[in-house]
């Protein structure tokens, strides 16, 4: 469990929404990993770090994180 797992609303989301700033690559990746752990971990035998770049679970999590952080 990383430091962000105990927050109900991920810190990256709070930071981007409250400041209106564009997310960094690190914030996008961290939120995507959190989404994957919270939602899709039971459907995949791979941990986030082992998912291939083209895995649909990884793409879905990254797109969801981008939508949440950018608002579009």
In a domain, 30, yes or no: yes
The answer to whether 30 touches 49, Cβ cutoff 8 Å, is: no
| Whole-structure pTM value | 0.75
The H-assigned helical ranges of the chain are: 11-19, 25-35, 56-70
pLDDT digits (tens, 9 = 90+) for 24-68: 999 999 999 888 888 765 766 668 888 889 988 889 999 999 998
Of 41, 68, 67, residue with least CA distance to 55? 41
Handedness of CA 43, 1, 62, 52 (dihedral sign): negative
Write out the residue range of the structural domain in which residue 54 sits. 22-70
In a domain, 42, yes or no: yes
In a domain, 61, yes or no: yes
């Amino acid at each position: 469990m990383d430091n962000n797992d105990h927050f109900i609303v991920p810190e990256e989301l709070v930071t981007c929404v409250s400041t209106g700033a564009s997310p960094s690559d690190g914030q996008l990746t961290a939120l995507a990993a959190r989404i994957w752990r919270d939602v899709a971990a039971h459907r995949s035998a791979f941990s986030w770090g082992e998912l291939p770049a083209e895995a649909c679970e990884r793409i879905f999590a990254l797109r969801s994180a981008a939508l949440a952080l950018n608002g579009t």
